[in-house]
């Protein structure tokens, strides 16, 4: 056994490429946009080396469509973009959700709305990730805060997408997408790679949207002898359009439930010095790095501050936050927006403690000192 | 009596949802007959469509089928073809679907010369939503959003596809269904991006607003406004006004996109192993 | 008047014309464009090959039927 670790200095977007390759990605379709383009560039270089395919499409709508097509044909597929492109992807993201087609979509967040701040970080798309495409739908979204986490969460994103047959959104921000850090690249044998369930019945018995007990239907890839229909219309077990209200209701509920019932598997959080905390910070992405430093500084002053770091954004870890709200007097949610995830924190806290937002939207990072300042300000109240 | 058609359709989906006399069913028949002549294995065929009346076609055929989003059928099909180049991928679109919301995808699929067969059912109107004018509604004709007559210029889809780089371009009509089927057969058999535009009828949305009350009236009109290439060439510019030429316009052999990408894979693998 | 079946088969010595009345929407295309005027509409507008002996088996009615509701074949073809 080789004990030598494979350590590399990688840019965040490069780590995403490495994570995707370890997950077995074989297809990438994208469109150039800052600050995500290095993912496309890495894929263009590396995918053909392993017999995979890269294509630069005419826009992000087409990229999302091509990714879904390739996934239907059996390839693990990835696309990457930023806010303006993410807006365009929403249309076909909905198609992937309703047809339960595994794929991973990276959004390296920049300031918005519109063209906004192409080269500056933001966390303004948290709610877009949840509700961007129309209709009542579930989603899984993950948010790494280090380059190493970009690699590990990219693998998680692919695994979740295959296991639950859903698109998964990986939310980066301009800072972690472009920063370089030491990354430990795991050996392929050391990581878990999940592949979609295949049907166990012959084609004539296959019902493409009939779920197993876990709520997830086995997926036959196109071209493997299983002929069936998929449509963006609400459909029955056969995949054919339905207007039967019972079938519609059961279908929409199942889409939600397959995620909801596996919430323990999907939610990834990290607790840092929370056991005795009276004040909690809840943070994610690059802000979580600052918040961790804030906790150390506050502790030096004797303040009992801890951090709950969210790696899974959607579904939201309501239970964990509710418990935390019963333990602490104050929760501060620093984020690079004017209050998005804080709304979820408030909802989950159910009035058990004070919940305070701390937002910054000037295109600059939130630093540890200013969060500490916010803590000092709030405890005086 | 079991017909050729019966071997390829999802019988439980019939009768189809289309209005009496709608050309969509005629085109569906033409596609099926072409496939039957080619003796293709149903398991190797993927049919992809967008949104609109014509896009319902994919629900009726017993292949791997995908009814996607409005205008986006070609990029979905591009992903499928890239992933599995051995699959035969057919894309069926309506005129609004292909030339308005999906216009850019159409140009780029042709430019890449990806091996797809695009069949555009051109009934010159948005039928499903109630007869709004499309980029292919003739100038001067009426639509529910052109109550005073359409002032837009129309696209010539065949010329557009030709300019953008398609390997095969043809135009047929639902009136001449036999010719349409043979054009579709050649398009299906062609490597590279192939386009067949079929001039079709929408008696309900187009016909009623343009003084053609029945499907029969519409088919007669289609017969009147279309001419063969030979006849077309003899017409003066004035005589060509308001007429559409049918037949085969482009049929060239060029390397398709998947074949070119195989070259990329070979080059990438020769240039430095699998690691970097 | 005799109630017609969902699927009617008409034939003479050389031609068999089947009409899937269940799928036919009475658009009239087959009747109008038959080069030999073989077909006439019934009270619902669905085709009846009243003049079946004139049929030359050109198949245009079948090719132009949007509903796969009419089929022309030889009498040697077996029923399913």
Which residue of chain C comes nearest to B5, CA vs CA?
Answer: C68
User: In a 3-state reduction of DSSP, which class is residue A83?
Assistant: helix
Asked whether the beta carbons of residue B64 and residue A59 sit closer than 8 angstroms, the reply is: no
Asked whether the beta carbons of residue B26 and residue C63 sit closer than 8 angstroms, the reply is: yes
Residue C17 within any structural domain of the chain: no
Strands B117-122 and B88-94: parallel
- Judge whether B74 and B228 are in contact, CB under 8 Å: no
Is 60 exceeded by the pLDDT of residue B270? Answer: yes
Q: Looking at residue A316, what is its pLDDT?
A: 98
Residue C44 within any structural domain of the chain: yes
Q: What is the pTM of this model?
A: 0.97
Residue numbers of the domain that contains C44: 27-75
Closest CA to B24 of B7, B1, B49, B3: B49
Asked whether the beta carbons of residue A66 and residue B78 sit closer than 8 angstroms, the reply is: yes
Quote ipTM for the complex. Answer: 0.97
Domains of chain A, start order: 6-190 (3.40.50.970), 269-380 (3.40.50.920)
Is 50 exceeded by the pLDDT of residue C80? Answer: no
Q: Which of residues 28-47 of A touch B (CB under 8 A)?
A: 29, 45-46
Residue C11 within any structural domain of the chain: no
Asked if chain B contacts chain A via 3 or more Cβ pairs within 8 Å, the reply is yes
Q: Looking at residue C74, what is its pLDDT?
A: 82
What are the tens digits of pLDDT across the range B20-37? 999 999 999 999 999 999
**pLDDT tier at B70, thresholds 50, 70, 90:** very high
The CATH number given to whatever domain includes residue C56 is: 3.30.70.20
Is 60 exceeded by the pLDDT of residue C79? Answer: no
Q: Chain A within 8 Å of B44 (Cβ-Cβ)? A: yes
- φ, ψ of residue C57 in degrees (nearest 5): 55, 35
Q: Looking at residue C31, what is its pLDDT?
A: 98
Beta bridge partners of B64: B46
Q: Rounded CA gap, A373 and A380, in Å?
A: 11
Q: What is the per-residue DSSP string for A37-71?
A: HHHHHHHHHHTGGGT-EEEE-SSHHHHHHHHHHHH
Q: Looking at residue A359, what is its pLDDT?
A: 98
Q: Chain A within 8 Å of B260 (Cβ-Cβ)? A: no
- Judge whether C10 and C49 are in contact, CB under 8 Å: yes
Which residue of chain B comes nearest to C8, CA vs CA?
Answer: B1
Residue C18 within any structural domain of the chain: no
Tell me the mean pLDDT in the region B144-152.
Answer: 98
Q: Looking at residue A4, what is its pLDDT?
A: 81
Average pLDDT of chain B, as a whole number: 96
What are the tens digits of pLDDT across the range B138-147? 999 999 999 9
- φ, ψ of residue A29 in degrees (nearest 5): -130, 135
A41 vs B213 pLDDT, higher one: A41
- φ, ψ of residue C39 in degrees (nearest 5): -100, 145
Residue C45 within any structural domain of the chain: yes
Which residues from C are below 8 Å from B7, CB to CB?
none
Which residues from C are below 8 Å from B178, CB to CB?
60, 63
Q: Chain B within 8 Å of C7 (Cβ-Cβ)? A: no
Is 60 exceeded by the pLDDT of residue B160? Answer: yes
The residues spanned by each domain of chain B are 4-229+237-272
DSSP secondary structure letter of residue A280: E
Just give the CATH number of B4-229+237-272.
3.40.50.970
- Subunits next to C (3 or more Cβ pairs <8 Å) are B
Q: Looking at residue B2, what is its pLDDT?
A: 75
Asked whether the beta carbons of residue C27 and residue B21 sit closer than 8 angstroms, the reply is: yes
**pLDDT tier at B225, thresholds 50, 70, 90:** very high
Total domain count, chain C: 1
What are the tens digits of pLDDT across the range C37-72? 999 999 999 999 999 999 999 999 999 999 999 999
pLDDT, one tens digit for every residue, chain A (381 residues): 456 899 999 999 999 999 999 999 999 999 999 999 999 999 999 999 999 999 999 999 999 999 999 999 999 999 999 999 999 999 999 999 999 999 999 999 999 999 999 999 999 999 999 999 999 999 999 999 999 999 999 999 999 999 999 999 999 999 999 999 999 999 999 999 999 999 999 999 999 999 999 999 999 999 999 999 999 999 999 999 999 999 999 999 999 999 999 999 999 999 999 999 999 999 999 999 999 999 999 999 999 999 999 999 999 999 999 999 999 999 999 999 999 999 999 999 999 999 999 999 999 999 999 999 999 999 998
Average pLDDT of chain C, as a whole number: 92
Residue C60 within any structural domain of the chain: yes
Task: For residue B245, count other CB atoms closer than 10 A to its CB.
Answer: 18
């Amino acid at each position: 056994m080789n004990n030598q670790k494979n350590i590399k200095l990688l840019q965040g977007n490069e780590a995403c490429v490495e994570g995707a390759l370890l997950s077995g990605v074989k297809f990438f379709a994208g469109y150039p946009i800052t600050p995500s383009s290095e993912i496309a560039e890495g894929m263009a270089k590396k995918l053909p080396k392993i017999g995979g395919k890269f294509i630069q499409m005419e826009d992000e709508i087409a990229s999302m469509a091509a990714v879904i097509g390739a996934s239907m044909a059996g390839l693990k597929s990835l696309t990457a973009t930023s806010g303006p492109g993410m807006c365009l992807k929403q249309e076909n993201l909905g198609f992937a959700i309703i047809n339960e087609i595994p794929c991973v979509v990276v959004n390296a967040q920049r300031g918005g709305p519109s063209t906004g701040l192409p080269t500056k970080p933001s966390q303004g798309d948290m709610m877009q990730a949840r509700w961007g495409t129309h209709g009542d739908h579930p989603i899984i979204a993950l948010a790494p805060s280090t380059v190493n986490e970009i690699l590990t969460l990219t693998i998680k994103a692919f695994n979740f997408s295959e296991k639950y047959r859903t698109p998964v959104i990986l939310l980066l921000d301009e800072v972690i997408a472009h920063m370089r850090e030491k990354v430990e690249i795991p050996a392929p044998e050391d990581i878990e790679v999940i592949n979609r369930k295949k049907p166990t019945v012959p084609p004539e018995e296959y019902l493409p949207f009939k779920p197993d007990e876990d709520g997830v239907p086995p997926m036959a890839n196109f071209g493997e002898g299983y002929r069936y229909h998929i449509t963006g219309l609400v459909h029955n077990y056969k995949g054919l359009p339905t207007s039967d209200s019972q079938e519609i209701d059961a279908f929409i509920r199942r889409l939600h439930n397959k995620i909801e019932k596996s919430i323990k598997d999907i939610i990834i959080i990290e607790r840092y010095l929370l056991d005795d905390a009276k004040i909690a910070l809840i943070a994610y992405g690059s802000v979580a790095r600052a918040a961790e430093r804030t906790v150390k500084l506050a502790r030096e002053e004797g303040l009992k501050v801890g951090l709950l770091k969210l790696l899974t954004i959607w579904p939201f870890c309501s239970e964990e936050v509710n418990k935390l709200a019963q333990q602490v007097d104050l929760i501060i949610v620093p984020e690079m927006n004017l209050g998005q995830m804080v709304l979820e924190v408030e909802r989950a806290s159910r009035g058990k403690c004070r919940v305070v937002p701390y937002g910054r939207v000037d295109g600059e990072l939130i630093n540890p000192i200013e969060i500490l300042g916010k803590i000092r300000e709030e405890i005086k109240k | 009596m079991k017909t050729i058609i019966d071997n390829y359709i999802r019988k439980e989906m019939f009768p189809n949802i289309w209005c009496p006399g709608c050309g969509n069913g005629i085109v569906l028949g033409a596609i099926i007959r072409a496939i039957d002549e080619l003796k293709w294995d149903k398991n190797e065929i993927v049919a992809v469509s967008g949104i609109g009346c014509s896009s319902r076609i994919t629900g009726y055929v017993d292949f791997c089928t995908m009814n996607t989003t409005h205008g986006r059928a070609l990029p979905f099909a591009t992903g499928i073809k890239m992933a599995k180049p051995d699959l035969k991928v057919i894309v069926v679109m309506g005129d609004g679907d292909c030339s308005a919301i999906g216009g850019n995808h159409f140009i780029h699929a042709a430019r890449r010369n990806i091996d797809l067969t695009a069949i555009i059912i051109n009934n010159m109107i948005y039928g499903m939503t109630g007869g709004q004018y499309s980029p292919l509604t003739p100038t001067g004709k009426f639509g529910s959003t052109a109550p005073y007559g359409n002032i837009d210029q129309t696209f010539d889809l065949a010329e557009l596809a030709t300019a953008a780089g398609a390997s095969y371009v043809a135009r047929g009509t639902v009136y001449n269904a036999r010719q349409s089927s043979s054009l579709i057969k050649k398009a299906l058999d062609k490597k590279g991006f192939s386009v067949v535009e079929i001039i079709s009828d929408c008696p309900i949305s187009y016909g009623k607003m343009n003084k053609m009350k029945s499907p029969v009236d519409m088919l007669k009109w289609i017969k009147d406004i279309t001419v063969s290439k030979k006849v077309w060439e003899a017409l003066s510019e004035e005589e060509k006004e308001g007429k559409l030429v049918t037949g085969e316009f482009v049929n060239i052999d060029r390397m398709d996109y998947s074949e070119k990408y195989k070259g990329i894979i070979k080059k990438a693998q020769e240039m430095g192993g699998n690691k970097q | 008047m005799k109630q017609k079946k969902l699927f009617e088969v008409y034939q003479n010595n050389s031609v068999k014309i089947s009409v899937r009345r269940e799928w036919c929407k009475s658009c009239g295309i087959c009747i109008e464009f038959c080069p030999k005027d073989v077909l006439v509409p019934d009270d619902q507008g669905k085709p009846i090959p009243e003049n079946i002996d004139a049929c030359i088996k050109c198949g245009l009615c079948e090719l132009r039927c949007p509903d796969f509701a009419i089929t022309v074949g030889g009498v040697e073809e077996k029923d399913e």
